[in-house]
Amino acid sequence: MDALDQLAGPAAELLGRVDDLLARVGAPADHRIWPLVRRLRVLPGDAAGAVTALRPAALARAGHAVRTLIREYDDAGRALGDDGSWGGAAADAYAARRTALAERLTDGPDSLTGRMAATAGYAEAVADWAADSRTALAYTLLDVLASAEAMLVVTADGPDDRPGRAAAEIGARVLATVAESYDAGERLLARWGPDLTELPPPRPVEAVSDWDGTTWITG
């Protein structure tokens, strides 16, 4: 359990009041919350809930599991590189196909292991992003929970517009933090996207036409 988990309960109650006030009372037309609401298309309570639902540990475990598979693919690639102790036309044909398969498995970023490494790296980077997003939101929630605006929201009563303004201020702080995390996530996707594209088709292997030659095997 991290700081955000500890703050989630009190924060959800406060932000529920914030969302309700924004829906019932609104906020000044020129308040900075409105561009954030239009951009994210969500109220502060739901925005905070989305970040709270992020679980970086699961993503980190997924990246580790993929890296374990990479080692197994590397082992398979090395096994394919062993041409054995036989020769001739058939041996050459098998050798060509073994080489092509080994390259497909382990040769550079456009190989299976290359894409798996990119997938693992992306999962780990997203895990870091999720952890950073949770930490940033926790700091913001800690700040707003102890603020004078929170007191106004909790004790809202009567036609006074101060609770509505307080709700807008709290909502703007939360949405601004979530928007920064959203931008970081977009940059992350742009960074890793080219490395996560579909593999190009394997290169063709030239067929061996002379199958009448001698095949030899050494002991």
Give alpha helix (H) positions in the chain. 3-24, 33-40, 44-52, 56-80, 89-106, 112-145, 148-154, 162-192
Residue 186 clears pLDDT 70, i.e. is over it = yes
Q: Which of 127, 119, 2, 1 is nearest to 60 (CA)?
A: 127
In the chain, where are the structural domains located?
Answer: 3-63+112-199
193 against 96, higher pLDDT: 193
**Per-residue pLDDT tens digits for 73-127:** 777 777 666 665 666 666 666 667 767 777 777 777 778 888 888 999 999 999 9
**Model's pTM, two decimal places?**
0.81
Task: Identify whether the C-beta of residue 185 lies closer than 8 Å to the C-beta of residue 122.
Answer: no
**Per-residue pLDDT tens digits for 114-166:** 888 899 999 999 999 999 999 999 999 999 999 999 999 998 766 678 899 99
DSSP labels, 139-183: HHHHHHHTSHHHHHHHT--SS-SHHHHHHHHHHHHHHHHHHHHHH
